[in-house]
Amino acid sequence: MYNLKNKPIVAGIIISYQPSIDDLYLSIKNLTKEVDIIILVENGSDKYTQNKIKDIVKDNKIDLLIQDTNQGLGFAQNIGIQHGLKKKAKYFLFLDDDSILTKGSTKQLILELESNPNLGLAACNIIHKDSNKIQKYWIKTKFFYKRISFSEKEEKFQNVNTVISSGSMIPRKVIEQCGLFREDYFIDYIDIEYNLRIRSNGYTITVIRNAELLHKLGNTKSIQIRRLLEIHPTFHNPSRRFFMIRNRIWTWKIYMLTFPGWFLIDFSNFIFDNMRVLLFENNKLENLIQIFRGIKAGFSKIEKN
């Protein structure tokens, strides 16, 4: 059981790239009260932004690791992990540069991890800042999966399919067994691949209701279709579609036979996501080009874990 007198070292890892300085400051301010070390990896923003970040990093609890160029999210996360390992951290909490952790969330995550040795990742309950909606999760049942959000009855969801990186806590022992994040993905699906890698090593994933994270997803907008359906396009830069598609297919190749239920859900999401992009987002031609580029790259190479 988690004991405040024998508190394990918790490292909070934030990756920043061209962040909103105000959002980053608030994220750091909240996280300072929740972890023992903050490892802020500045992933190649322009010099003006990096100087602004230096101005807000005043606490000696924060280790600022500045990179000259953006070599990808996985690369930056691994720098943070390796730094935390040297600092003897037992738990690693990952956050985006605009995510806000609510008070007491770290303790809730650690309590769950300490009480369940088969738990490979404990995650916060995501509240979307743009829409104020609570995240829905795919939960494994006896026969398949169901997608639900928290009600007042549940304290946690166990056997969760996958979660996003921001707001997730991973124990040192799991990282040492499963390895570091994939750097060749650059961005997107890094967290999904690692979730599945954790599960393929016999661990489970749990989301804790009272550990809340306020999270923003891209430039999401809400589109209502005749009161029957609400669509949330993300309006990502078209160039990012390439990585989304390529990395998704690479991940299918690795895990589709191990987790066929996950694959069926993700393939359905693949169809829906790209239809939503082509119907409701801007730069339709450029998005279409990047989608086809991603499909070609995804199937042209077999990626192994």
Looking at the structure, tell me whether residues 285 and 163 fall in a common domain: no
pLDDT at 279: 77
Stronger pLDDT, 279 or 11, i.e. the higher one: 11
Looking at the structure, tell me whether residues 35 and 174 fall in a common domain: yes
153: its two tokens: 């009855």
Domain count, the chain: 2
CATH code, domain with 51: 3.90.550.10
Looking at the structure, tell me whether residues 207 and 58 fall in a common domain: yes
Looking at the structure, tell me whether residues 51 and 86 fall in a common domain: yes
Q: Identify the CA nearest to 87 among candidates 33, 11, 34.
A: 11
Per-residue pLDDT of 240-257, as tens digits, reads: 899 999 999 999 999 999
Domain membership flag for residue 305: no
Q: Band the pLDDT of 301: cuts 50, 70, 90.
A: confident
Looking at the structure, tell me whether residues 208 and 235 fall in a common domain: no
Q: Band the pLDDT of 300: cuts 50, 70, 90.
A: confident
Residue ranges making up the domain that contains 227? 223-300
- For the CA atoms of 223, 130, 96, 167, the dihedral, rounded to the nearest 10 degrees, stands at -100
The percent of residues above 70 in pLDDT, for the chain, comes to 89
**The pTM of the whole model exceeds 0.85:** yes
Looking at the structure, tell me whether residues 244 and 202 fall in a common domain: no
Packing angle of the helix pair 73-86, 190-200 (nearest 10 deg): 50
Stronger pLDDT, 301 or 70, i.e. the higher one: 70
Looking at the structure, tell me whether residues 203 and 238 fall in a common domain: no
Q: Answer with the one of 196, 215, 234 that is the final residue of a domain.
A: 215
Residue 174 has pLDDT above 60, yes or no: yes
Per-residue pLDDT of 9-29, as tens digits, reads: 999 999 999 999 999 999 999
Looking at the structure, tell me whether residues 261 and 161 fall in a common domain: no
- Distance, in Å, from the CA atom of 278 to the CA atom of 58, rounded to the nearest integer, reads 45
pLDDT at 58: 86
Residue 222 has pLDDT above 80, yes or no: no
Looking at the structure, tell me whether residues 162 and 270 fall in a common domain: no
Q: Band the pLDDT of 283: cuts 50, 70, 90.
A: confident
Segment 26-39 shows an average pLDDT of: 95
Per-residue pLDDT of 48-103, as tens digits, reads: 999 999 999 988 999 999 999 999 999 999 999 999 999 999 999 999 999 999 99
Looking at the structure, tell me whether residues 233 and 200 fall in a common domain: no
pLDDT at 28: 95
Q: Are 100 and 184 in contact (CB under 8 A)?
A: no
Looking at the structure, tell me whether residues 251 and 211 fall in a common domain: no
Looking at the structure, tell me whether residues 241 and 210 fall in a common domain: no
pLDDT at 2: 44
Q: Identify the CA nearest to 195 among candidates 187, 183, 203.
A: 203
pLDDT at 256: 96
Which distant-in-sequence residues (6+ apart) come within 8 Å of 180 by Cβ?
74, 77, 78, 81, 82
Q: Band the pLDDT of 128: cuts 50, 70, 90.
A: confident
pLDDT at 210: 93
pLDDT at 238: 82
Stronger pLDDT, 122 or 274, i.e. the higher one: 122
Q: How high does pLDDT run on average in the chain?
A: 89
pLDDT at 218: 56
Residue 260 has pLDDT above 80, yes or no: yes
pLDDT at 26: 94
Q: Identify the CA nearest to 34 among candidates 65, 59, 52.
A: 59
